C-alpha cells in the first residue's frame, strides 16, 4: 500500500520569535509525529502526552499574556478547547479502532494547529514582544 509522505506538523515558517512559545510548539510537533507513527500499544500514551503538552502550552500562553497585562480572547481559548476536544475524541474512539483514530489525528490536527499558530499565536507573540517585560522601550 502506497502512502503519502507525512509532512511535519510545523516548519520554520511557524517560528514566531518567542522562545517559550516556539519551544512548546516544537514539543507538540514532536509528540504529534510520534502519535501518528506509533504502534497500537503506544498510541494511548502518545496521545495522552500530546494532550498534556497542549494543555501545558495553553497554560504557558495564558500566563505570559496575563503577565503582560492582557487576557486571551474567547476565540483563542475556543481554539485551544477544540484541540483538547479532538484529543479526547481520539482517546475515546481509539478503543474501537486505533488506526482510524490515528488517521483522524494525522489529518485533522495539523490544519487546526497550523491555522492557530499563524493567526492566534502570532497575535499573542506580537502582543508579548511589544508590551511584555522583554519589549524594547
Question: How many domains in the chain?
Answer: 1
> In this predicted model, what pLDDT tens digit does every residue of 18-69 receive, in sequence order?
999 999 999 999 999 999 999 999 999 999 999 999 999 999 999 999 999 9
Query: Is 90 inside a domain boundary?
Result: yes
Contact 57, 25 (CB under 8 A): yes
Residue 9 lies in a domain: no
What's the pTM value of the predicted model, to 2 decimals?
0.90
Q: What share of the chain is helix, strand, coil (3-state, %, to 5)?
A: 75, 0, 25
Name the one residue in this structure whose C-alpha cell is 492582557.
Answer: 70
Residue-wise pLDDT for 34-44, tens only, equals 999 999 999 99
Residue 107 lies in a domain: yes
User: Residue 10 domain-assigned?
Assistant: no
43 lies in a domain? Answer: yes
Q: Is residue 112 part of a domain?
A: yes
Helix (H) or strand (E) holding 29: helix 19-37
Q: Is residue 116 part of a domain?
A: yes
Instruction: Report the CATH number at residue 53.
Output: 1.20.120
Distance (Å, whole) CA 126 – CA 68: 11
List the domain range (segments joined by +) for residue 104: 18-131
Amino acid at each position: 500500500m502506497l502512502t503519502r509522505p507525512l509532512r511535519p506538523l510545523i516548519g520554520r515558517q511557524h517560528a514566531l520569535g518567542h522562545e517559550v512559545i516556539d519551544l512548546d510548539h516544537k514539543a507538540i510537533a514532536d509528540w504529534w509525529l510520534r502519535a501518528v507513527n506509533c504502534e497500537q500499544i503506544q498510541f494511548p500514551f502518545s496521545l495522552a502526552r500530546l494532550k498534556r503538552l497542549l494543555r501545558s502550552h495553553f497554560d504557558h500562553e495564558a500566563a505570559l499574556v496575563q503577565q503582560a497585562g492582557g487576557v486571551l480572547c474567547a476565540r483563542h481559548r475556543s481554539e485551544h478547547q477544540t484541540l483538547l476536544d479532538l484529543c479526547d475524541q481520539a482517546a475515546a474512539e481509539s478503543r474501537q479502532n486505533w488506526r482510524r483514530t490515528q488517521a483522524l489525528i494525522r489529518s485533522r490536527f495539523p490544519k487546526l494547529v497550523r491555522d492557530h499558530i499563524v493567526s492566534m499565536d502570532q497575535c499573542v507573540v506580537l502582543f508579548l514582544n511589544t508590551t511584555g517585560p522583554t519589549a524594547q522601550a
